[in-house]
Structure 1
Amino acid sequence: MTEHRPHSATTAMGNRHDYLPAAGRDALLPTYDLLTRTLGVPRVHQRLIDQADLRDDHKILEVGCGTGNLTIMARRSRPAAEVTGADPDPRALSRAERKAHGLPGIRFDRAYGQELPYGDGEFDRALSSLMLHHLDDDVKAPMAAEILRVLRPGGRLHLVDVGGPMTPADGPAARLTLRGHHVAGNLGDNIPRLLREAGFDCTEVATQRHRAMGRVTYYRATRPD
């Protein structure tokens, strides 16, 4: 496991770490998986996996894997693939490892997204789900550059997050979300611009209103050959 430190600390909900725990606070971690199911996150994950066109010969990385739900889903969708989940939260990773116990071809590493401990061009696919809006602005560009680095030429990042073309017209959840500062960097074309500036070719794949998060938007970012 890695022991890298980020370039800046993320603080929220009384967080005392230099990362945001999966549930915001360590004490809330046991409720995290129930909360994500209540919010409909498994459907979001399944749609992201469908878009990623995963293959059995792929090496797949999830950045910011939390308790491992998307990482495990990706592994089960492609039983021969090698799948790695990376996250700075050791408690969340311990939970992920327990859930994946006995499932071959999967591993979890402690790592920050902007300091990934992997070789250049090591992965065919990278996944990111509902994580980017939690990061400090000065971390986002280094993280995008690191994901580009560890993808092979032609490899792809598939990312879903709150934001995109979200407006108050998307409903009460959107209006509430738009009042917070976390989502500001995800609105409009901010995510495609971030990824293009890192060197990706980026396309918005889909966007949909979400009853609990306002709007979620899916992106495909390819490392040029």
Structure 2
Amino acid sequence: MTETARPYIPAMGRHWMLFLYDPFARVAGVSRVHGQLLDRAGVQPGHTVLEIGCGPGDLLIQLGRRVPGATLTGIDPDPAALRKARRKAARRGLAMRFELGYAEQLPLPDDSVDRVLSSYMLHHLDPETQVAAMREVLRVLRPGGELHLVDADGTPHAGGRNHRHPRLAGHTPARIGDAMRAAGLREVTENGHGERPVIGRYAFFRAVA
């Protein structure tokens, strides 16, 4: 990809903190949340799957173990996270691609993907870019293809943590659903929610191209 790099928020918020990602994910139980997302996504052998904001690759690696016959691609704007993802996949003998890219300019052709996955990426984007990213999801999904997304729920609540983070101010399930609908995605559904230590509350969404 030859375009000039654009600003982005890396997986742990700061570039130098990437080495903390794996221990953080273990403590926070991120693997369990990823498993719940994959349960909902229903990926089948032969499906082509894209993850937006793949970071160090944990979600796609879990999927690769579940569904060996799927074609898997992850994109992220962070070259260091992509290198980490490639190393993890290689150590496990899993065939998948990790490419440099941005959510609002996906490096894939139209109508080429059966499933798009997103885990804790959307709140990194401002509201306008969220809609642009969802338009790109609609573009790359085949007709009838599905987006499955999990993200933090920033709804303020007494004694809660999520609303204290500046990136989560106003980042509610209602706004996430509105961004999907504004982009033209259909059958937008909040299809579950949960809460875990460290990462707080989160919500799952499904939408159809």
Q: TM-score range by the shorter chain?
A: over 0.9
1:127 is aligned to 2:128: no
Matched residue type, 2:125? L
Matched residue type, 1:127? L
> How big is the shift at 1:104?
4.2
1:110-142 CA distance string (max 9 Å, x none): 000101111001100000001111112231111
Runs of 5+ in structure 1 lacking a partner?
Answer: 10-17
Aligned 1:11-50 pairs, distance under 5 A: 18-50=7-39
Residues 92 and 211 from structure 1, CA distance in 2 versus in 1: closer, same or farther, beyond 3 angstroms? Answer: same
1:110 is aligned to 2:96: no
Matched residue type, 1:52? A
- Report if aligned partners of 1:3, 1:111 keep a CA contact under 8 Å in 2: no
> How big is the shift at 1:156?
0.4
- How many residues get paired? 207
Corresponding residue number in structure 1 for 2:199: 213
Corresponding residue number in structure 2 for 1:13: none
Aligned 1:172-211 pairs, distance under 5 A: 172=159, 174=160, 176-201=161-186, 202-211=188-197
Aligned 1:24-173 pairs, distance under 5 A: 24-101=13-90, 103-163=93-153, 166-169=155-158, 172=159
Distance 1:4 1:138 in 2: 21
Distance 2:136 2:45 in 1: 24
Residues 19 and 78 from structure 1, CA distance in 2 versus in 1: closer, same or farther, beyond 3 angstroms? Answer: same
Q: Deviation above 6 Å: which 4+ runs of structure 1?
A: none
CA RMSD of aligned residues (A): 1.7
Distance 1:145 1:99 in 2: 30
Distance 1:101 1:188 in 2: 36
Matched residue type, 1:151? L
TM-score, scaled relative to structure 2: 0.93
Q: Secondary structure at the match of 1:168?
A: coil
TM-score, scaled relative to structure 1: 0.86
Distance 2:3 2:30 in 1: 28
Aligned identity (percent) is 42
Distance 1:128 1:79 in 2: 20
Q: Secondary structure at the match of 1:22?
A: coil
> How big is the shift at 1:28?
1.2
- Report if aligned partners of 1:137, 1:185 keep a CA contact under 8 Å in 2: no
